Chain A
Amino acid sequence: MIGAQVALSQGGQTVGRPAVNIAIFALFVAATLVIAVTASGGNRTTTDYYAGGRAFTGRQNGIAIGGDYLSAASFLGIAGLIALDGYDGFLYSIGFLVGWLLVLLLVAGPLRNTGRYTTADVLDLRLRAVPVRVAAATSTLVVSLFYLLAQMAGAGGLVSLLLGVHSAQGQDATVAVVGLLMIFYVLVGGMKGTTWVQIVKATLLTVGAAVATVWVLDRAGFSLSVLLGHAAAASPAGRAVLGPGLLYGLNTVSKFNFISLSVALVLGTAGLPHVLMRLYTVPDAAQARRSVVWTICLVGVFYVFTLVLGFGAMWLVGAKQIESAPGKENSAVPLLAFHLGGTVFLGLVAAVAFATILAVVAGLTITASASFAHDVYAGVLRRGEADPEDEIRVARTTAVVIGLVAVIGGIYAKDIDVAFLVALAFAVAASANLPSILFSFFWPRFTARGALWSIYGGLISAVGLIIFSPVVSGGSTGLGGAGASLISDPHIDFAFFPLDNPGIVSIPLAFFLGWLGSVTDKNAADSARFARMQVRALTGIGAERGSRG
């Protein structure tokens, strides 16, 4: 996911035959549209639209969450990072995986038991304060939008490599098509349709990666050691790729950069709104927990595949070819697919990667639109008295607006490093969302003021530190694991925070502010409300149950 540089290839190379790739894309898009339409089954109530009628099983939902989580940048980006920098790319995947344990152990069950559709519901049950709902909705929208922009920005680069679309207008048009398709999925399919698209995509992605993995291992005689030996021999960095340090070992700053990123990755997953919202699509807390166990297994196995694919690309494709391809490290897996199975296999892998972007974008859009319609429109503007049909209408309108914003943003964000946006989304999620969720469940003295301080403090410090980091200004060239600065002119330098990722500062700060805001609050926490929260969180009384038990 991280390090996925967006391709800007004017007249660069294309691998495979664009016609084959386009045909396979079209087939996939047609199939998923049929699924979205047939699975939607009406979407009459808000529970249908936001939570798929709460009728998915833990296994189905777990696979769908995996589909939401494994974005194109994580499929192509992590394998690509491994292909160029070896072991340090592998470090990313571990952070992305281990973070799920936090979701499983502390968040999934209580969250399912105490909310209806969004995390703001949970905070509302505990604190009963309109400003907190607004704050939670704001951070949900900010995180979703950053994540969305990252996906859309990645789409342009991927398309130029795979479809042979090299002109700027052509790429813009493709981003627009992605946006329109995604709006269609969300409008027609609602959460039910989107979930089925995620399930299909996650299955295709895993099968595709598994086939490629076995193929690579076969070349290496099914020995990981042999594969690593070949890869190291083929790499310009030699045996250094087998251990940590190529990307982050440069100096002390880059090492702390890595630690800050690791903190954000492991704590960010439990605050990602589009992941948390999926926990409401199952009948009860036990199924929510089961979903996460399935997700962990799927995501974990997938990251083992990317390890093999990354070193496989290092060996079979080679760093030189990857670096000169449009999309750089993003192109490692497509190039490997072409090397292994020629045009058709490349077309399949490319279609899966493209499908991945579509599905993740659809998931993010439905989350953001639900947050606006349910929390801001129904919860705040209509004080919880909104007509469900109006609420769905607002959600649909919001989805269209968000889709259009994503298209425009994606067109302008093409030059921005995907790494920057995704890492920011994780850091903001961990800073703004996680502390207030955990405090709500487990800390009796948590108050509305503490929640506001924690959410806004985390949001502002995370985004602010990014703005004043080398990622935005100072003309960094991208050494030591740092992305190149957004403002490339080295004379414009307002960076005073040395690290790329704000997590190591903003996350502890948000926890601290949540504590400080609560203990200094004149209105003491309501012990009756905490009692209700905990009883509901653990026993599930009062939770909306699904049609399947």
Chain B
Amino acid sequence: MSVTQSSESRGTASGYELVHGSREFGTLRRRLGYYVVPVTGMFLVWYFLYVILAAFAPGFMRISVFGNINVGLCIGLLQFVSTFTIAIGYGRWAPRKFDPLAAKLRLRLEKGRRL
């Protein structure tokens, strides 16, 4: 922490720029991006599809699936299922695929700066 602050007070961030341009940081950034960007896009499209169906296709939403359970309720509950799935999925993915690489880079940065 103190090392970081001293570099800030000198007004340079060249160490960060070196890391930012490094192959490993590129890997870290791509790994996260390839996961979160498509997933974010997907859940937003899926949510707004639901919103638009609810607003403009109420007849479709009222089609009975069984008993009093209709399409609208099923899609609504599926929003819950997809949200839980994405949350738990990301919660499992990140510690396995992202955190170790991030920690490796962080340690190297901390060591490099102490030298």
Interface size of A by CB at 8 A reads 58
User: What residue in chain B is nearest A225 (Cβ atoms)?
Assistant: B67
Chain B contact residue count (CB 8 A cutoff):
57
Cα of A90 to Cα of B58 in the assembled complex, Å: 14
Given that A94-B76, A97-B79 are known contacts, is A266 also in contact with B106, CB under 8 Å in the complex?
A: no
Q: Which residue of A lies closest to B17 (CB)?
A: A531
Interface residues of A in 298-337 (CB under 8 A from B): 300, 303-304
Count: A-B pairs, CB below 8 Å? 169
A242-B70, A243-B70 known; A97+B20 contact, CB < 8 A: no
Query: Which residue on chain B has the smallest CB distance to residue A293?
Result: B91
Interface residue from A255, A256, A532 paired with B13 (Cβ < 8 Å): A532
CB–CB B1/A544 < 8 A: yes
Cβ contacts A531-549/B at 8 Å (1 or 0 each): 1101110111110100000
By a CB distance below 8 angstroms, the chain A residues around B61 are: 87, 243-244
Q: Is A167 an interface residue (CB 8 A)?
A: no
Q: Taking the complex as formed, is A262 at the interface, i.e. its CB lies under 8 A from any CB of chain B?
A: yes
A539 to B58: give the CA distance in the assembly, Å. 47
Say whether chain A's binding surface is mostly helix, strand, loop, or mixed: helix
**Residue from B12, B56, B58, B109 having most chain A Cβ neighbours under 10 A:** B58
Q: Which residues of A contact B17 (CB under 8 A)?
A: 527-528, 531-532
Interface residues in A249-283 (C-beta closer than 8 Å to B): 249, 255-256, 258-259, 262, 266
B73-94 vs A, CB cutoff 8 Å, 1 = contact: the mask equals 1001101100110111011001
Known A-B contacts A528-B14, A541-B106; A229 and B67 likewise in contact (beta carbons under 8 Å):
yes
Say whether B48 faces chain A, with CB atoms less than 8 Å apart: yes
* A542 x B79 contact (CB < 8 A): no
Cβ contact within 8 Å between A97 and B83 = yes
B87 lies within 8 A of A293 (CB)? yes
Q: Which of A12-20, A102-110, A348-356, A414-422 contacts B (4 or more CB under 8 A)?
A: A102-110
Residues on B with C-beta less than 8 A from A529 are: 13
Inter-chain contact A98/B47, CB cutoff 8 Å = yes
Q: A290–B58 Cα gap in the complex (Å)? A: 37
Bound CA–CA A337/B68 (angstroms) = 25
Measured CA separation A34–B76 after assembly (Å): 41
Is A286 a contact partner of B40 (Cβ separation < 8 A)?
no
From A90, A541, A544, give the contact of B76 (CB < 8 A).
A90
Instruction: Find out whether the CB atom of B50 lies under 8 angstroms from the CB atom of A532.
Output: no
Smallest beta-carbon distance B52→chain A, Å:
7
Separation of A258 and B52 alpha carbons in the complex (Å) = 9
CB distance from A242 to the nearest CB of B (A): 6
A145 to B43: give the CA distance in the assembly, Å.
31
Q: How far is the CA of A304 from the CA of B36 in the complex (A)?
A: 26
A243 close to B40 (CB less than 8 A)? no
Residues of chain A with a CB closer than 8 A to B4's CB = 541-542
Q: Could you tell me which A residues sit within 8 Å of B by CB distance? A: 87, 90-91, 94-95, 97-98, 100-102, 104-106, 109, 223-226, 228-229, 232, 242-245, 248-249, 255-256, 258-259, 262, 266, 286, 289-290, 292-293, 296-297, 300, 303-304, 527-532, 534-536, 538-542, 544
Please name 4 further chain A to chain B contacts, defined as beta carbons within 8 Å, in addition to the given A87-B73, A94-B47, A304-B77, sorted by A numbering.
A225-B66, A228-B73, A229-B67, A527-B17
Q: List 27 A-B contacts (CB under 8 A).
A: A87-B54, A87-B72, A97-B80, A100-B83, A104-B86, A224-B69, A228-B69, A228-B73, A232-B68, A242-B72, A243-B62, A258-B51, A259-B55, A262-B51, A266-B47, A286-B94, A296-B84, A297-B87, A303-B80, A527-B17, A528-B13, A531-B19, A532-B20, A534-B20, A538-B102, A539-B28, A541-B4
